[in-house]
Amino acid sequence: MTAGVTIRTVHDVARLTAVADHFSDVWRTPRTAPPYPAEVLHSLVHAGGAVHAAYDGRRLAGASVAVLGPGHSTYSLVAAAEQGLGHPLKRAQRAWAVGLGARTMRWTFDPLVGRNARFNLVKLGAVGTEYLVDFYGPMSDGVNDGDESDRLTVTWDLGVPGASPEAEVRGAVLRSAPDGAPLARRDPAGRYVWCRVPEDIVKLRAADPALALRWRHAVRDVFLDAFTEGFRATGMSRDGWYTLTREGAGA
């Protein structure tokens, strides 16, 4: 835990409104039109979900929202925190879920955001289990506007949280990226596929939306083909390469 930071569940309208404002600031929407309004958060809490808030002293520095899923599962709807607080928030969500008897937690994220992929797949040890094409349809917030909303679903086994090992990127080039360099590689034994994402998709989308969309479609094609063959996303290197591992393959 970062010194001076506390994480707790919140239930009252005032604190939930502050969480809604926080999400507005992160996704660059007017506070009058937050991506998750306070009344929606209040309803989710009333229905048995949890809103966790991270406070640096009295200042709200991060928040996450989770709900119960079918069977022994939970679903994390949204999370946004300042640097260094993402892991404590996820641990708090895990403790809440395990306390309810849950065995897994799922959530989605933009697969082109490499830092989030590394956090989810490597630091937490979750696995990318489903590729969703244009999941939300057109989005008009200040982060995603002008792009298609593809998402990667990850599944986190709450019984074995922890980092995943990384496989070295090697093998024959399958496809080239929009920048002309390799986009995807495959090892000769067919156990792994590697797929590269741009260094910073948010900056690229702001500077050249058309190029960002070409990256979106290129990565989408690799993932859809790989997932059809039984691969799952299991890692992300520091230089932006996903590791996709065929189910049942050894290390």
Q: What is the pLDDT along the chain (251 residues), one digit of tens a residue?
A: 567 899 999 999 999 999 999 999 999 999 999 999 999 999 999 999 999 999 999 999 999 999 999 888 999 999 999 999 999 999 999 999 999 999 999 999 999 999 999 999 999 999 999 999 999 998 888 888 888 999 999 999 999 867 766 778 888 999 999 999 999 999 999 999 999 999 999 999 999 999 999 999 999 999 999 999 999 999 999 999 999 999 876 54
Question: Is the Cα dihedral 114, 120, 125, 127 positive or negative?
Answer: negative
Identify whether the C-beta of residue 176 lies closer than 8 Å to the C-beta of residue 120: no
Residue 208 makes CB contacts below 8 A (sequence gap 6+) with none
Q: Do residues 10 and 19 touch, judged by C-beta distance below 8 A?
A: yes
Please, which residues bridge with residue 172 across strands? 186
Contact 77, 36 (CB under 8 A): yes
Q: Which residues contact residue 14 at a Cβ distance below 8 angstroms, ignoring those fewer than 6 apart?
A: none
Helix segments in the chain, DSSP class H: 13-27, 38-46, 86-99, 114-118, 201-207, 209-228
Amino acid, single-letter form, for residue 236: M
Residue 137 is classified by DSSP as -
Nearest of 182, 158, 156 to residue 170 by alpha carbon: 182
DSSP state of 166: -
- Angle at CA 117, nearest 5°, toward 93 and 221? 130
In order of their start, the domains of the chain are 1-102 (3.40.630.30), 172-246 (no CATH)
163 DSSP 8-state letter: P
The set of residues, in sequence order, having a beta carbon less than 8 Å from that of 138 and lying 6+ positions away, is 149
Residue 140, token pair as written in the block? 């008009």
pTM: 0.92
Place of tokens 């939300």: 136
Residues with Cβ within 8 Å of residue 56, at least 6 apart in sequence: 2, 4, 5, 82
pLDDT of residue 251: 44
Which pLDDT score is estimated for 146?
80
pLDDT at 191: 94
CA distances from 155 to 85, 124, 144, 150, 200 (A): 20, 10, 23, 17, 24
